[in-house]
């Protein structure tokens, strides 16, 4: 299907401008994002919009110039209700900066003989909690980097609910950490490398999209994924070499 620029009309001028700021400039980008996600992103960006905007987005994505019937509208309402939380994420450079702070924590974990995973909690441009994997040293499976960072942030704020905070972690969270992230009301989770064996943000399962769990956290993966993967691979390669040497 040929990509066409988003125009006014059919979109309202403010809607089109906001979509452009979100990187959705044509129908191909709209299809990649998805009409429901684009609609929710517009709301997250502060626009006051009605269902009519969703219908316009659906028709544009499908390359149609007619109208949605009642059954189609009902289907899209259902998709909207079931959609995982979305958010407008910071610029790429900003996310990379905070992820590098998490990678520094991961390097500290590796130096201590722990699986190299690090995390930081960011609020209003400041790190308020950080953590490096410490399960071996702490004799606790609960000492994952995410849990430690959330705990430190909660102590600093004097509240276990971390509304308005973002969490940056070098590896996709497991089920335990995903649950803690949702319970703490983290607004945005940014992770580096996917975890195909135990990832609970989309790789094995997606707890953040499970509506029965009342999710509050928007998720974005892949920020500095290569750096995180190299650190993990180096760590496990060295461990295998040590075992062979003994």
Q: What is the pLDDT of residues 84-136, one digit of tens each?
A: 999 999 999 999 999 999 999 999 999 999 999 999 999 999 999 999 999 99
- Is 146 designated active site? yes
Note the pLDDT of residue 245. 63
Residue 119's beta-bridge partner residues?
131, 169
177 is in an annotated binding site: yes
What is the Cα–Cα distance from 203 to 179, expressed in whole angstroms?
15
Q: How confident is the model at residue 142 (pLDDT cuts 50, 70, 90)?
A: very high
92-111 helix and 145-157 helix, angle to the nearest 10 degrees: 110
Compute the distance between CA of residue 125 and CA of residue 228 in angstroms, rounded to an integer: 22
19-23, 120-124, 193-197, 239-243, range with the lowest pLDDT: 239-243
Q: Provide CB contacts within 8 A for 87, sequence distance 6+.
A: 41, 44, 187, 188, 218
Q: What is the dihedral of CA 217, 214, 148, 163, to 10 degrees?
A: 60
Residues 64-73: tens digit of each pLDDT: 999 999 999 9
Domain ranges across the chain:
13-82, 92-245
**135 labeled part of a ligand binding site:** no
- Using a pLDDT cut of 70, give the percent of the chain over it: 98
Does 83 count as an annotated binding residue? no
C-beta contacts of 87-91 below 8 A and 24+ residues apart = 87/41, 87/44, 87/187, 87/188, 87/218, 88/22, 88/41, 88/44, 88/45, 89/188, 89/190, 89/218, 89/220, 90/166
Please name the fold of domain 92-245: Cytidine Deaminase; domain 2 (3.40.140)
Q: Which CATH class is domain 13-82?
A: mainly alpha
Does this chain's domain 13-82 share its CATH topology with 92-245?
no
Kindly state the average pLDDT of the residues 195-209.
Answer: 96
Which residue among 114, 146, 152, 172 is the active-site one? Answer: 146
Query: What does the pLDDT read at residue 246?
Result: 58
15 vs 241, more confident: 15
Mean pLDDT over 193-206 rounds to 96
CA atoms within 13 A on the CB side of 150: 26
d(CA 122, CA 124): 7
Rounded to whole angstroms, how far apart are CA atoms 13 and 171? 39
pLDDT at 12 over 90: yes
Query: Could you read off the pLDDT of 212-245 as tens digits, one per residue?
Result: 998 889 999 999 999 999 999 999 998 877 676 6
Predicted TM-score (pTM) of this structure: 0.89
Residue 2 pLDDT class (50, 70, 90 cuts) = confident
């Amino acid at each position: 299907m040929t990509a066409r620029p988003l125009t006014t009309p059919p979109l309202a001028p403010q809607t089109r401008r906001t979509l452009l700021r979100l990187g959705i400039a044509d129908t191909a980008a709209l299809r990649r994002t998805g009409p429901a996600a684009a609609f929710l992103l517009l709301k997250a960006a502060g626009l006051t919009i009605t269902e009519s905007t969703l219908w316009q987005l659906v028709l544009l994505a499908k390359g149609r110039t007619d109208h949605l019937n009642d059954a189609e509208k009902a289907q899209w309402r259902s998709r909207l209700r079931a959609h995982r939380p979305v958010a407008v994420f910071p610029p790429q450079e900003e996310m990379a900066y905070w992820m590098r702070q998490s990678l520094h924590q991961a390097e500290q974990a590796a130096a201590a003989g722990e699986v190299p995973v690090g995390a930081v909690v960011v609020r209003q441009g400041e790190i308020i909690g950080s953590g490096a994997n410490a399960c071996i040293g702490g004799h606790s499976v609960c000492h994952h980097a995410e849990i430690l960072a959330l705990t430190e942030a909660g102590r600093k704020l004097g509240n276990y609910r971390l509304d308005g905070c973002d969490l940056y972690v070098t590896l996709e969270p497991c089920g335990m950490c995903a649950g803690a992230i949702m319970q703490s009301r983290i607004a945005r989770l940014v992770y580096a490398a996917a975890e195909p064996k135990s990832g609970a943000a989309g790789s094995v399962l997606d707890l953040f999209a499970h509506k029965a769990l009342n999710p509050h956290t928007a998720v974005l993966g892949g920020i500095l994924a290569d750096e995180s993967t190299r650190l993990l691979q180096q760590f496990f390669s060295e461990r295998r070499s040590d075992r062979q040497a003994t």
